[in-house]
Amino acid sequence: MTAVLQIIFDALSLGSLYALGALGIALIFGVMRLVNFAHGDFIAFCVFAMLWPSIDATAVVFAGMLPFYLLIPLLLIIGAALSILSEIIVFRRFRNTNPATMMIASFALGFVIRHILLMFYSSRPKSITLWPSLGLPVDFLGAHIPMLQVVTIVITLVTLAVLVLFLKRTRYGLEMRAAAENFTMARMLGVRANGVILLAFAISGMLAAAIGLILATISGTADINMGANVMLIAFIATVIGGLGSVPGAVAGGFIIGAASVIFQATLPHDARVFRDAFVYGAVIVVLLVRPQGLFAPKSAKQRV
Amino acid sequence: MTLLAVDDITVSYGRLTALRGVTLKIAEGEVLFVTGPNGAGKSTLLNAIAGVVPAGSGSITMDGAKVTGASPEDIARRGFSLVPEGRNVFGALSIEENLKVGTGMRADRHKIAGDLESVYAEFPMLADRRHTAAGMLSGGQQQMLVIGRALMTAPRIMAIDEPSLGLAPKIIDQVYEILVRLRAQRKLTLLIVEQSSTRAMMTGGRMILIRGGRIVLEGAAADMIEDERLKQAYFGFGDH
Amino acid sequence: MSQRASVVRQTMLTPIVLIVVLLVMATLSYQFGSRAFNRTAVEMFINIMVVVGLYVFVGNSGLLSFGHISFMCLGAYMTAWLAIPPVMKSITLKGLPAWLLHTQLPMWVATPISGVFAALFALAVGRVIMRLSGIAASIATFGLLGVVNNVYSNWDSVTGGQGSIVGIPPTMNVWIGWLGAAVAIVIAYLYAISRSGLALRATRDEPVAASASGIDIVRERLIAFVVSAFIIGIAGALYAHFLSIVNPGAFYLRTTFITLSMLVVGGMYSLSGAVTGVVAISVLIELFRNLEKGISLGALKIALPNGVQEIAIGIITIVILMYLPTGLTRNQEFSWRGWPMLRRWSRPVRTAKELN
């Protein structure tokens, strides 16, 4: 029983992380058909923003020393700002170009951000300690659940709830959903293209910052690759969820999180390092049956 | 007073020229019925005015202000509301949400609720299903919805592209009855584009015939319907 | 058939021009270049193979692939398994099956086998990936890259894990590099004028018309994917012989990006563009490599910090995409009269935005 409970919490917390990542990608994809390959580097940027630039192994914590009620908003602002800047400087010029061009442009931007980080921080992973008290377990129905898992799940659920409320109950949310479905029609109803797109980028950037914070807290390190790994899974989550479907992306994230944890628990010990490969194999099986994804939006036109 | 003036605009898609030097004016409160055969450039004309496709040359003015090259949202904000061909409802959004998308730009916030009620009064079927996803509606209902959605923007000109497309004749009559009524009630300026000119009788007003990207005939709708040249224009001049 | 013959007559100049130009470069490098310079030349030829292979898929289908470097990885490791002396393999790669452990093949045998291995793998995964819509397919190829990297980084007993496997005979030189590039160009050319190549470009430019005329888009994409994997697998094999060591880090994001950027800079939809892009970016990389090492101005030594190279290439790619989206070659081929047959299929569709 406690083992099952442990697995459920593992699945939920890992799924939360992937869902937040998939959400950040799906929102931008929804409004401008851009698959943002720079998202992983946005996440890494937010993690490294907590450190003072240095190529030494021992990290000098900088913004990370701030109390949480300052650090969290600061990091969210950094994420949003980086994301918005990317839109203004780079992606704005690629509107109306084909998705392949936009993908390469975002890949190139990610590459630039990555190497700027490498230049200032080197490729050595750095240790970073945030809120060590979160590592302590809490007892829940007899299982020892790390506090951090609970916090991650709660943060994700709160984020999702706020986002749903925002999308369903506010004017900007309504405009964003309309734009995601038919951008030109929304504009012909007076919805400002730049406003909606900037908003999507800002939210996506904040989600990247949230992931960065969670990852840094879980792993206790700042590593240049940590963002790319989450992004890879988040991409796959958006494909399984059905490209263009925001709820589908979230569901896809949780499904992959659950699949990963189940593989982790059931695979023989030697095979565990290949967990992601097994997850990917499972994804391929799913796509064989449903090439359009599990929750493909009804209105989705095939834009090859 | 002239509300919308299109002056000598030309629009091309690649090597294909869809509009060649089209000039027209619409006065406040007027109805203009634009007709012509398939591929004549009717939809291109509306899309050019709406800012969705760029005009290669010429100018478009609304209320005396030049709007050539302005973005679709800016043109919408000046009071031009286009109901495009194929209706384009937001299928995943509810009926009420569809109606509210275009109200964000309105300065007269306090009137929105009242307008919503009057749209529901006009289209009781929408009121009954206000929380249903718009994608669930039939073609005729969707046409009502997009007309209602355009009304909710409090437009100064409402342009409709092929309102009868894919609808049964009875429903088409309903749509036109509503348009005529709206025009009478609200003094709405209407720009209707339709391949078939038979309904122009219902709306009255002025009529323009476009063919091959040019205006070939212009006059009062009532006179033109009778005009033998209208029929000829569909099949080409001097072909027989 | 006579029509095919006339296509060949009109277009065959492009591969010939490309191969001859590369031969001139190889000769010059061999005659006048230093040892280090020759290594750069070999690297360039290998990159030409990879990017030409990438062009076979991306250029003809219009779909982006982020997974092609995994084929290079497969090819390189297969060559390592085949070409490292058994004595060394039995120490470092204990997990290999016995028959593989006791094999040692020369380069000219190991290389095509590696290519076929990569192609078979592409056939297996491509059957699923090619069924996805354009964007989803691109994402899936990126997933492929991640998974291949994950497996090769962790399967310690067979791949040596994150570390390097050493002991591949270093038998590469400029001439073999040139030969490899020439073979890649010829295969890419033959594919481009084949029935499948023509059909695939039709789906790229006129998807609706192409599917209406009965083209099996999944099948044509899959053929291109497999051909492209074969070329890149061979490139991986030669790369292994060139470095004489392999490690999974060499076949991941950086190489993926650099090769994609080469293709974009040259012109995604043309074979000449693929080759031009590699030459241009290779020159740039060499330039920045020297600048990072430092240049002496009298007593003053100025060196750019490490990493400027990558940042510059990233920015250049973005700028080229913004202002020259059809690349340095404008997606045209080198020849006297162009490629009339291909041009007709591949005329870029101008968007409303370009008309402004």
Residue C5 has pLDDT above 60, yes or no: yes
Region B10-20 average pLDDT: 87
Query: Residue C354 has what pLDDT?
Result: 34
Tokens (6 digits) for A101: 């061009």
Query: Residue A57 has what pLDDT?
Result: 66
Residue A59: which residues within 8 A CB-CB, separation 6 or more?
A51, A52, A126, A127, A128, A222
Region B167-171 average pLDDT: 87
Query: Residue A15 has what pLDDT?
Result: 93
- CB contact burial C180-214 (16+ within 10 A = b; e otherwise): bbbbbbebbbebbbbebbbbbbbbbbebeebeeee
Residue A91 has pLDDT above 90, yes or no: yes
Q: What is the pLDDT of residues B197-233, one digit of tens each?
A: 778 877 888 999 998 889 988 888 878 777 777 777 6
CB A146 within 8 A of CB A77: no
Q: What is the distance between the terminal CA atoms of chain C, rounded to a whole angstrom? A: 43
More confident residue, B232 or A216: A216
Q: What is the pLDDT of residues C59-71, one digit of tens each?
A: 999 999 999 999 9
Residue C22: which residues within 8 A CB-CB, separation 6 or more?
C45, C48, C178, C181, C182, C275
Residue C2: which residues within 8 A CB-CB, separation 6 or more?
none
Residue B46 has pLDDT above 80, yes or no: yes
CB A184 within 8 A of CB A196: no
Closest approach of B176 to chain A, Cα-based (Å): 22
User: How far is the C-alpha of C101 from the C-alpha of C97, rounded, in Å?
Assistant: 6
Chain C residues lying within 8 Å of B14, measured CB to CB: 349-350, 355
Query: Residue A27 has what pLDDT?
Result: 92
Where is average pLDDT lowest: A80-84, C51-55, C285-289? C285-289
Closest approach of B237 to chain A, Cα-based (Å): 37
**A147 secondary structure, DSSP code:** H
Region B155-178 average pLDDT: 89
Tell me if chain B has a CB within 8 Å of the CB of A177: yes
Q: What is the mean pLDDT of chain A?
A: 87
Q: What is the pLDDT of residues C215-253, one digit of tens each?
A: 899 999 999 999 999 999 999 999 999 999 999 999 999
Region C274-300 average pLDDT: 88
Residue B32 has pLDDT above 70, yes or no: yes
Residue A133 has pLDDT above 60, yes or no: yes
Task: Give A289's pLDDT tier (boundaries 50, 70, 90).
Answer: confident
CB A205 within 8 A of CB A42: yes
User: How far is the C-alpha of B60 from the C-alpha of B51, rounded, in Å?
Assistant: 10
Tell me if chain B has a CB within 8 Å of the CB of A236: no
* Residue to substitute from B52, B73, B152, interface A, most A β-carbons within 10 A: B73
Query: Residue A303 has what pLDDT?
Result: 35
- Subunits next to B (3 or more Cβ pairs <8 Å) are A, C
Chain B residues lying within 8 Å of C356, measured CB to CB: 54
Query: Residue A19 has what pLDDT?
Result: 94
**Size of chain B in residues:** 240
Query: Residue C2 has what pLDDT?
Result: 63
Query: Residue C183 has what pLDDT?
Result: 97
Chain B residues lying within 8 Å of A184, measured CB to CB: 52, 72
Instruction: Please state, as a whole number, how many other Cβ atoms lie within 10 Å of the Cβ of residue C179.
Output: 17
User: How far is the C-alpha of B90 from the C-alpha of B97, rounded, in Å?
Assistant: 9
Query: Residue A139 has what pLDDT?
Result: 77
Residue C274 has pLDDT above 90, yes or no: yes
HEC string for chain C: CHHHHHHHHHHCHHHHHHHHHHHHHHHHHHHHCCHHHHHHHHHHHHHHHHHHHHHHHHHHHCCCCCCHHHHHHHHHHHHHHHHCCHHHHHHHCCCCCHHHHCCCCCHHHHHHHHHHHHHHHHHHHHHHHCCCCHHHHHHHHHHHHHHHHHHHHHCHHHHCCCCCEECCCCCCCHHHHHHHHHHHHHHHHHHHHCHHHHHHHHHHHCHHHHHHCCCCHHHHHHHHHHHHHHHHHHHHHHHHHHHCEECHHHHCHHHHHHHHHHHHHHCCCCHHHHHHHHHHHHHHHHHHHHHHHCEEECCEEECCCCCHHHHHHHHHHHHHHHHCCCCCCCCCCCCCCCCHHHHHHHCCCCCCHHHC
User: How far is the C-alpha of A118 from the C-alpha of A126, rounded, in Å?
Assistant: 12
Chain B residues lying within 8 Å of A199, measured CB to CB: none
CB C180 within 8 A of CB C278: no
Question: Partners of B220 in the beta sheet?
Answer: B206
User: How far is the C-alpha of C232 from the C-alpha of C66, rounded, in Å?
Assistant: 13
User: How far is the C-alpha of A251 from the C-alpha of C78, rounded, in Å?
Assistant: 38
Q: Which residue of A has its CA nearest to B76?
A: A190
User: How far is the C-alpha of A48 from the C-alpha of A59, rounded, in Å?
Assistant: 10
Tell me if chain B has a CB within 8 Å of the CB of A95: no
HEC string for B100-152: HHCCCCCCCHHHHHHHHHHHHHHCHHHHHCCCCEHHHCCHHHHHHHHHHHHHC
CB B80 within 8 A of CB B4: yes
Query: Residue C235 has what pLDDT?
Result: 97
More confident residue, C139 or A299: C139
CB A293 within 8 A of CB A246: no
Closest approach of C115 to chain A, Cα-based (Å): 22
What crossing angle do the helices spanning A39-48 and A2-32 adopt, rounded to 10°? Answer: 110
Residue A198 has pLDDT above 90, yes or no: yes
Tokens (6 digits) for B14: 């690649």
**Size of chain A in residues:** 304
Residue B107 has pLDDT above 60, yes or no: yes
Chain A residues lying within 8 Å of C351, measured CB to CB: 96-97
Q: What is the pLDDT of residues C100-126, one digit of tens each?
A: 888 899 999 999 999 999 999 999 999
Tell me if chain A has a CB within 8 Å of the CB of C317: yes
CB B123 within 8 A of CB B179: no
Query: Residue B220 has what pLDDT?
Result: 85
Which residues of B sit within 8 Å Cβ distance of C? 12-14, 53-54, 56
pTM of this prediction? 0.88
Chain A residues lying within 8 Å of C201, measured CB to CB: none
Residue C275 has pLDDT above 90, yes or no: yes
Looking at this predicted complex, what is its ipTM?
0.90
Residue B21 has pLDDT above 80, yes or no: yes
Residue B138: which residues within 8 A CB-CB, separation 6 or more?
none
Chain B residues lying within 8 Å of A188, measured CB to CB: 50, 52, 72-73, 76, 81-82, 84
Region B1-25 average pLDDT: 89
Q: What is the pLDDT of residues A3-60, one digit of tens each?
A: 888 888 889 999 999 999 999 999 999 888 899 999 999 999 999 988 877 777 666 6
Query: Residue C122 has what pLDDT?
Result: 97
Q: In this complex, which of A178, A181, A188 lies closest to B50 when CB atoms are compared?
A: A188
- Subunits next to C (3 or more Cβ pairs <8 Å) are A, B
Task: Give C335's pLDDT tier (boundaries 50, 70, 90).
Answer: low
Q: In this complex, which of B84, B88, B101 lies closest to A191 when CB atoms are compared?
A: B101
**How many CB pairs (< 8 A) connect B and C?**
11
Q: In this complex, which of C58, C62, C128 lies closest to A287 when CB atoms are compared?
A: C128
Residue B149 has pLDDT above 60, yes or no: yes
User: How far is the C-alpha of C251 from the C-alpha of C68, rounded, in Å?
Assistant: 10
Closest approach of C113 to chain A, Cα-based (Å): 24
Task: Give C356's pLDDT tier (boundaries 50, 70, 90).
Answer: very low
Residue A88 has pLDDT above 70, yes or no: yes
Q: In this complex, which of A175, A184, A298 lies closest to B72 when CB atoms are compared?
A: A184
Query: Residue B238 has what pLDDT?
Result: 40
Query: Residue C296 has what pLDDT?
Result: 77
Residue C351 has pLDDT above 60, yes or no: no
* Residue to substitute from C63, C94, C133, C156, interface A, most A β-carbons within 10 A: C133
Query: Residue C349 has what pLDDT?
Result: 41
Query: Residue A297 has what pLDDT?
Result: 61
Q: What is the pLDDT of residues A233-272, one digit of tens each?
A: 999 999 899 888 888 999 999 999 999 999 988 888 888 8
Phi, psi torsion values for C155, nearest 5 degrees = -85, 70
CB A172 within 8 A of CB A199: yes
